[in-house]
Amino acid sequence: MRVWGRPAGGRRASPRVRFDHAVLGSAGIAIALIVLAFLALPIIALVTYQPLHALVHGFGARVATDAIIVSLKTNAIAFAVMVALGTPFAYILARRRFPGRSAVITLVEVPLVMPPAVAGLGLLVAFGRLGLLGHALDALGVDLAFTQAAVVMAILFVAGPFYLRGAIAAFSAVDPTLLDVAATLGAGPLRRMVRIAVPLAAGGLGAAAAVAFARGLGEFGATILFAGSFQGTTQTLPLAVYSLFDANLDQAVAIGVLLILLSAAVLLLTKVLGRSWPAAGSGFAPAIPRPGRAPR
């Protein structure tokens, strides 16, 4: 019998085998360095494009602060709506089997592969003043297009599926036996989701939420078509970069670096919190109702 890279009986590998291993190891290191350089060089170029004091000064410019406020406000609202409505929806899709479930999940995933510009165009012709629901909304005195509400809707449409897909996977990984036991002990569907499924799936839910939030911060195409780019109202950080690209490249680079820092902070926070979140299927013991107790 021959073990890979080493003859049977514990004999040393031949010079040819050792040479092959050395070549493969060197090639692997070279490939890794090329990939890392390709990913890191654009970020390094942005950070080092201008002196540090000029970069920091650019963070405090009026256009940057306005874009930060709009981005954080709209993303916070979209995030709250996404978690509040998306969590029970994902739980239902993960737990229930019904006719057309595959079609529903496919519909959820379509925005993941849809070009952002097409997403913005779809939102405009659906909710714009001359769109599919435009007349009905106009009769109610509601005008969504080119408002801050349109920014929130664009973020929800583009980033929401990232959370839904991750949440479905997280809930699917929860041991269904625990939920079934809780049901036999009197816990209703809502209590089973809140007290058992959500704590067990917290790691996956948190990761999905972080990815969705980061995607929302970087949203551009759908926002500019459906909400426009008005400073202080609908101009988010990516739109500010685009508007300043010709007028003030230094300022555009500063806002780009700020976006990188915000996105990196979200990912870092996810990794830190992920260590304390229980993974689905781990030894975490959720609160299962005691026999005879009325469900809350």
Per-residue pLDDT tens digits for 107-133: 999 999 999 999 999 999 999 988 899
Alpha helices in 140-248 (DSSP H): 148-172, 176-184, 189-192, 198-200, 202-217, 221-226, 237-244
pLDDT above 70 covers what percent of the chain?
A: 83
pTM: 0.82
How far apart are alpha carbons 10 and 193 in whole angstroms? Answer: 56
Query: What residues are paired with 3 via a beta bridge?
Result: 6
Which pLDDT value is given to residue 11?
A: 61
- Mean pLDDT (the chain) is 86
Across 11-20, average pLDDT: 61
Which pLDDT value is given to residue 182?
A: 87
**Collapsed DSSP state (helix, strand, coil) of residue 3:** strand
pLDDT digits (tens, 9 = 90+) for 34-80: 999 999 999 999 999 999 988 888 888 999 999 999 999 999 999 99
Confidence check: pLDDT of 153 > 80: yes
Which pLDDT value is given to residue 14?
A: 66
Query: Which is nearest to 263 in space by CA: 224, 210, 220?
Result: 210
Across 159-172, average pLDDT: 95
pLDDT digits (tens, 9 = 90+) for 189-242: 889 999 999 999 998 999 899 999 999 999 999 999 999 999 999 999 999 999
How far apart are alpha carbons 265 and 126 in whole angstroms? Answer: 35
Across 166-174, average pLDDT: 94
Task: Answer for the pair 226, 150: CB distance below 8 angstroms, yes or no.
Answer: yes
Ramachandran category for residue 107: left, alpha or beta (phi over 0 → left; psi -120 to 50 → alpha): alpha
Which pLDDT value is given to residue 170?
A: 94
**Collapsed DSSP state (helix, strand, coil) of residue 6:** strand
Across 177-199, average pLDDT: 89
pLDDT band at 276 (very low <50, low <70, confident <90, very high): low
Query: Highest mean pLDDT range out of 6-20, 179-193, 210-224?
Result: 210-224
Query: What residues are paired with 6 via a beta bridge?
Result: 3
Task: Answer for the pair 90, 256: CB distance below 8 angstroms, yes or no.
Answer: no
Q: What is the helix, strand, coil percentage profile of the chain, to 5?
A: 70, 0, 30
